[in-house]
Chain A
């Protein structure tokens, strides 16, 4: 290879490597801000600030969804397999919200360790299954409280 071309090749490689390293360091430094939500175990460990708008995500614990009889209030618990977090919500839940499915809630952590949410989003998992196949796997929740939902 011609020496001039070799030099330009090295410069191009350096450009890519150095800019990647720079972005890599910045991303690493901001890693705690890159997460879209806190896991329930972060609440248990006291890492989540009170009375600030935060997001929490986890698997909706089967059997934990309780609807209030005379208001829209609904209470449920989300888990990441290590800790559970109580959530109170007073608006309409998304269609795909269900027990055993993942959900992400936005709200404020209250005294007493529960979150009063003003938004609940359903988090879809990465599996796609026709209804008949799902019928045969009935009773299997799609998230099992894994830390990474």
Chain B
């Protein structure tokens, strides 16, 4: 059957064994890009004419916000695949993505507040962009709480996948909030269809940081998924063998 490869993909054991080969590449590439991007952006890119040095928060704020949004889709899509195909690995990835996304959302909110004080004159306002981003943070926390709220693991998987899927409606709202409504937050600087309104000397370190964040996300998500696989599958033969234990009979 044509779908067989897809089901093999869903085996935690297969993923655990394959991913150990990806880890060093992901780790080295992401740390290298982040290092280059940080030194370039914080040390060598020119100052902004109006904001001075405080604009450099963009090199953390924008990549973190990008990944907070993209990570939500990854989490929700994994939840959907888990619900439809009853795939164990998919739910594990969904659970692993939630705290990483929450951390990235917090970073973008926190760096935004730090930047807001010298630029706008306030740490926080309740405009559509900032409020919808705060809702994203609560959605991540909700998925984390709900996935751990059931004694049966499968119930937690299902409930948190449903919450993650309902929450996807927030992502286009966050993305378009600055265009649909009057907000204090400025519209997007990096545009898909038009020229970006950032000088190339500032843009190249930014794109390096964004690529670095993407790889870092993939690295951390893989690491976290592997840990959760071991926690979930600790009773199985292959995990026991991996940990050097001889299986003392079936549990």
Contact = CB atoms under 8 A, between A and B. Distances in A.
Contacts of A96: 50-51, 118-121
B181 interface: yes
Interface residues of B, number: 44
A124 B186 contact: yes
Interface stretch (A66-74, A110-118, A127-135): A127-135
A34 interface: yes
Interface string A68-82: 000000000000000
B169 A24 contact: yes
Given A15-B165, A131-B49, A121 B186 contact: no
Interface in A103-144: 104, 119-135
A122 B119 contact: yes
Contact of A134 (B49, B121, B168): B49
A1 B3 contact: yes
A43 interface: no
Contact of B197 (A24, A126, A130): A126
Contacts of B80: 12
B49 A16 contact: no
B121 A37 contact: no
Contacts of A125: 186, 197
Contacts of A24: 169
Interface residues of A, number: 45
Nearest to A127: B197
Contacts of A15: 162, 165-166
Given A36-B125, A122-B119, A128-B202, A9 B84 contact: yes
Contact of A35 (B58, B120, B181, B188): B181
B182 A36 contact: yes
Given A12-B80, A19-B166, A95 B182 contact: no
A130 B128 contact: no
A37 B46 CA distance: 33
Contact of A127 (B84, B173, B181, B198): B198
A27 B48 CA distance: 36
A64 interface: no
A38 B181 CA distance: 10
A12 B3 CA distance: 19
26 contacts: A1-B3, A8-B83, A12-B80, A16-B168, A16-B169, A36-B127, A36-B128, A38-B182, A57-B182, A94-B121, A95-B121, A96-B118, A121-B120, A122-B120, A122-B121, A124-B50, A124-B51, A124-B186, A125-B186, A126-B186, A126-B189, A128-B189, A128-B198, A130-B46, A130-B47, A134-B49
Nearest to B115: A124
Contacts, number: 123
A61 interface: no
Nearest to A17: B169
B150 interface: no
Nearest to B130: A36
A124 B57 CA distance: 14
Interface in B173-232: 173, 179-184, 186-189, 197-199, 201-202
Contacts of B51: 96, 124
A52 interface: no
A79 to B, nearest CB: 14
Given A23-B169, A94-B121, A127-B198, A36 B184 contact: yes
A60 interface: no
B110 interface: no
B181 A36 contact: yes
Given A35-B182, A129-B199, A121 B49 contact: no
A34 B181 contact: yes
A96 B55 CA distance: 12
